[in-house]
Structure 1
Amino acid sequence: MSTPAPLQTAAALRAAGRHPVLPLRVQLADGRSLTVHRLLRVLPGKRLVGEAEFEGRRVLAKLFIAPASARHWQRERSGIEALAAAAALPTPALLAAAPLENGGHALLTAFLDGADSLAARWEAEAAEAAGSVRALAVLAPAFTLLGRLHARGLVQDDLHLGNFLVHGGHLLVIDGDAVRALRPGRPLDAAQAAANFAILAAQLPAAWDAHLPRLVEAWHSADDALPALDVPALRARIAATRSARLQAFLGKVLRDCTLFRVEQRLDRFSAVVRDQAEALAPLLTDPDRALAAGQLLKDGGTCTVARTEIAGQALVIKRYNIKNAGHALSRAWRPSRAAHSWVAGHRLAFLGIATPAPLALVEERLGPLRRRAWLVNAWCPGRNLLEHLAPHVDRAPPAAEAEALRQLFATLHRERISHGDLKASNLLWHEGRIVVIDLDALRQHRSAAAHARAWRRDRARLLRNWPAGSALHRWLDAELPAA
């Protein structure tokens, strides 16, 4: 018979940070204990979520370990009870909610073996043309379930596709911590419903805004008592919510959080996608060594670029050089070009614009002064458009490339993004998409006038890649959005 894991206290779990030793066992204040075998999420010093065993049953355990955890624990408990009882809405059953021995709290719900998050299904099955039958089939049930919440006077303030689970052919809503009763037992009014609807709709690519009436129809099908929604006003609210989400996300890419590991010293700053941190540790320690060992792609005065492979993953390392003392002085007080490209890459990825995944950033520093910097991206093996479209100079591009060009430039224009160096060699054709690279000068403009000026320069730069009288040049000039 195996020896039970030693009991842990909330204080010990706080001290363990992101890496508590498994299995871990905690004791409830009533004397019962539970053992966590697998961690699913860790908020250091605040909360652990994992698969656990409790009284011979598999459960999903949320351990609230912060000193002032009672408020969050009680709020989640109340939200689950509101979903399950007052609203009669599908959510994992609450099995236990109790204080821990020696501080902290536990909340245990049924473990749904084989459940998929709706986010995973969206990525696997519906990351295709907006409004398609297949994509709508994935999304519509979530908006209908949201309508059921609203019909019973509830809102969910952390709406995203990951907070919906598919289990046994049924859709469930989770995360009771974000559930609030605004009008218990009565439908929300139009303003309340629109504000909450916008949170979920803002998770989708902006191309879905054109199909908003279909999502509103799915939402309204939940209950005839739901109010009518003003679709144009809803579009504006979704755009504002999406913009706020983008800014909140970009605020994380240079600080230590769940998604990114950031380390800062007097002489060095580094940021890395957290799930890549272990694999990229040798590179982060000595980026120049990895650069020298790679296949040199460019060796210029301002930057050196090489392709390398680490842990079976093909990467591109770009070092931003310092040319001379004057250049060093001009760059010292500004964010490095590597940092600008790091943020720009995450901006594009968030907006659904294909770009090689930005994986790590390293800066040499002397206190607040910046010196050299390195950017590490995933390698994209695609051909640049200058080469790929060379056989089509005297005719329109093939149908797939034509549609990809339209979609890319419509998205860039809608989001007020300028590239700054939009030559065809900075656009790669890969797996049916156009991948944007070299983001050193990329900007997202607040001002429509500033964007129009930058857009005209981008547009002209791209068109200069092909003879003015060629069919391809004429096609691009006709199809690309005007300023």
Structure 2
Amino acid sequence: MVEQLTLAQLKLAPLGLAAPFALEGPGGQQLLCDAIFRHLPGKRLVLRAHLGGRSVLVKLFFRQRDFVCERAGLAAMRAAGIACPGEVWTLTDEGPPSGFLLATEFLDNAASLQDCYRQWQPEELVELLRRAVALTGRLHRRGRMQADIHLDNFLFRDNQLYMIDGGGIAPLKKPLENLALLFAQMTPDYDRLSAMTLDAYGENPPDGQRLQALIATMREKRIRHYLAKTTRNCTQFMVPKTAGAFVAVARNAASEQLLKLMDRPEAATGQAAFLKQGNSATVMKVAGNEVSWVLKRYNIKSFWHGLSRCFRPSRAWISWKSAHRLELLGIATPTPLAVREERVGPLRRQAYLLTECVDGDNLQAWLLKRGQGGVPEWLDREVVRLFDNLWRGRTSHGDMKATNLIVADRHLEVIDLDAVRHHRCKQGFVRSYRKDLQRFMDNWQGETWQHFEELLRPMATRSGISLVNKKV
């Protein structure tokens, strides 16, 4: 028996509301809701529902202005000649609490542009991006824009690209920034695709060079917005109340076992396998729900060391933020799951970082095992992509030794992120980037050094240095 919920219950429902449930629909009919796509407690609920044998996408608003805005946005898209889901029915319940339901056609078997971006090769994505740019240009010429434009706002089905989310349609401001924000949703190695798609914009296409510069700016703006969310309660993260500590957890990983571990991390040491026991950090491998986790404890070495660190973000906090930054830049790193800082009031003490465990050898050990096989082409591409994305993201690692680079499943994963920095000052960034390049080269000698020097020479030239073989 499916539970029947009321508007009052849905308005008070916290994050984590689960389907299926039933709700009264138009004409008193029962609306069966079987999937939730987005939930902003007390504001909006987006779900798939079935009524009279038909699947519809239902948006339930608890504020009338949001309901009006959604309908107006869909109308604006249709007026611009943009394919978007058609309205099926609306329902207003004066309450209390008041609720406003808008049902549009459900696009079965549609893939979002985000899905295509994750699964397709860059060259395969060009034509679909051209269509997205064309739709964006049409909207701009009507004096409107998707204010929070992102790849999930485009759905592809039966060779047709749809634009969705009428609530995001707003009066046009700074069209070049709006278009740059679309490309900023992708990692820096996709920036080159913008030049292949601009002619699809239509009349008065934007200047390509100005757009490239703005893409980097908008990407950093997007990253900073996302990083702010990693330490507060929101759709993606949760911050449980914990006495004497601050804890943040990735919501999709927040199992009972993980929350128990972050509540009492020291209890895990008795059953953990120690990967590293150092003065500054202790690294442990612990059994997770389905995969292993790595718990890294950042130690306080002495009274004076603790005093020097208590007023600053811990290295666990820096690594937590840095892991999310690198992921958004397309640089592989073990998935960050949770962070914990022991606190006495505003003073920070010992801290912990929990990530997924990546099985593999460090880059130096992996190449030694390979022996005379040399460096494969896919690894060359991974190394070039790593340093190119760091450059485009104006980010430095700070300790590019081979033990901090893990080869796993034909990917290069970067670990030990507490020295990662984003640089606002270009001059300071270039200095740090040069150090990263040279530190990477210091891992090698002989033919391996020569191979990587030739591979990374364009990167070194771009940053204004010549790489030096210190082992000769």
Q: TM-score, normalised by structure 1?
A: 0.87
CA distance in 2, matches of 1:105, 1:116: 27
Please name the residue that 2:89 is paired with. Answer: 96
How do 1:1-40 and structure 2 match up within 5 A? 5-9=3-7, 11-20=8-17, 22-27=19-24, 34-40=31-37
Structure 1 equivalent of residue 320 of structure 2:
342
SS of the residue aligned with 1:312? coil
Q: Give the match's secondary structure for 2:155.
A: strand
Q: Distance in 1 between matches of 2:32 and 2:138?
A: 35
Structure 2 counterparts to residues 429-440 of structure 1, below 5 A: 429-440=407-418
Contact 1:27–1:100 (8 Å) recurs in 2: no
Is 1:309 the counterpart of 2:287? The answer is yes
Distance 1:41 1:95 in 2: 20
Q: Mind listing any 5+ residue stretches in structure 2 that lack a counterpart?
A: 464-472
2:390 maps to 1:375? no
Residues in 1 aligned to 2:378 and 2:394: alpha-carbon distance in whole angstroms: 24
Is there any run of 5+ residues in structure 1 with no aligned partner, and where? 183-190, 221-225
Cα RMSD (Å) of the superposition? 2.5
Partner SS, residue 251 of structure 1: helix
Letter of the structure 2 residue corresponding to residue 451 of structure 1 = F
Partners of 1:411 and 1:56 in 2: CA distance:
49
Match of 1:114 in 2: 109
Deviation at 1:287, TM superposition (A): 1.8
- What do the CA deviations read for 1:411-464 (whole angstroms, capped 9, x no partner)? 212322221211111111223222111101111111122122222332332222
Residues 138-170 of structure 1: CA deviation (Å, up to 9, x unaligned): 433322333333344432112111111122332
**Is it true that 1:364 corresponds to 2:364 in the alignment?**
no
Which of 158, 175, 186 in structure 1 is aligned with 2:165? 175
Q: Distance in 2 between matches of 1:116 and 1:395?
A: 41
CA contact (8 A) 2:286 2:294 kept: yes
Aligned counterparts, 1:26-425, within 5 A: 26-27=23-24, 34-65=31-62, 69-84=63-78, 86-102=79-95, 103-126=98-121, 130=122, 132=123, 134-180=124-170, 182=172, 192-220=174-202, 226-278=203-255, 280-390=258-368, 397-425=375-403
**Contact 2:231–2:248 under 8 Å retained in 1:** yes
**Deviations, residues 44-71 of structure 1 (Å, cap 9, x unaligned):** 1211111123355321111112xxx111
Q: Is the 8 A contact 1:393 1:471 kept in 2?
A: no
Task: Please state how far the C-alpha of 1:192 moved relative to its aligned partner.
Answer: 4.8
Deviations 1:195-239, CA, capped at 9 Å, x for gaps:
32212111122222223221113333xxxxx21321111112222
8 Å CA contact 1:392, 1:472 repeated in 2: no
Letter in 2 for 1:293: Q
Supply the distance in 1 between the matched residues of 2:207 and 2:283 (Cα, whole angstroms). 51
CA distance in 2, matches of 1:446, 1:90: 40
Which residue pairs with 1:474 in the alignment? 450
Aligned length, in residue pairs? 456
1:123 maps to a residue whose letter is R
Aligned residues of 2:367 and 2:374 also touching (Cα < 8 A): no
Structure 1 394/417 Cα, relative in aligned 2: closer, same or farther at 3 Å?
farther
Q: 1:415 to 1:327 in 2, by over 3 A?
A: same
Residues 364/207 of structure 1: CA separation in 2 closer, same or farther (3 Å cut): same
Contact 1:359 1:378 in 2 (8 A): yes
**1:230-273 residue CA offsets vs partner (Å, 9 max, x unmatched):** 11111122222111111111111111111111124440111111
- Inter-partner Cα distance in structure 2 for 1:350 and 1:215: 22
